[in-house]
Amino acid sequence: MTLDQLRIFVAVADRQHVTRAAQALNLVQSAVSTAIANIEGRHATKLFHRVGRGIELTEAGRVFLVEARAVLARAEAAELVLADLSGLRRGTLALFASQTIASDWLPRHLVAFRRAYPEIAIRLAVGNTTDAADAVRAGTAELGFVEGALDDPTL
């Protein structure tokens, strides 16, 4: 079952009408009907009683509606987390800096970064130029700051 099928089911349940749900979702009525039929067929469970021109939830449909809403809410929360992570709103930035840079140059930049992105945690390790290069190569640091020259085409 897909998230789209769950969204369609919830829209139909909320409106108690397939055509109105289709209009709200900007879908054709047959696509909405097919999605509902696929869910019902796959699980051999009727979710709606057809009553005249409308529909109403069966007992199974009422129970399933609670779960469908919960799944959609979790999916939305997951999307928000990804949006936060991709938009520099939260997460962790791993840095490695050589001694001189860590004590002289980096502090003011870390303060500015913290002001701009208060929800991003900063993990800083300090060592020499070679240690910084090794950390970036190994993936334990996303950025390395060094004052010495490096002859490494991968960096």
CA 38 to chain CA mean position, Å: 27
Intervals of the chain under pLDDT 50: none
pLDDT digits (tens, 9 = 90+) for 101-129: 999 999 999 999 999 888 888 999 999 98
- 67 and 16 belong to one structural domain: yes
- 102 and 69 belong to one structural domain: no
Question: In this predicted structure, what is the pLDDT of residue 2?
Answer: 95
Give the end of a domain, one of 85, 111, 136: 85
| Distance (Å, whole) CA 132 – CA 140 | 10
Residue with tokens 């109105």: 20
Question: In this predicted structure, what is the pLDDT of residue 78?
Answer: 86
Q: Judge contact between 98 and 129, C-beta under 8 A.
A: yes
| Distance (Å, whole) CA 107 – CA 111 | 6
- 54 and 96 belong to one structural domain: no
Question: In this predicted structure, what is the pLDDT of residue 152?
Answer: 83
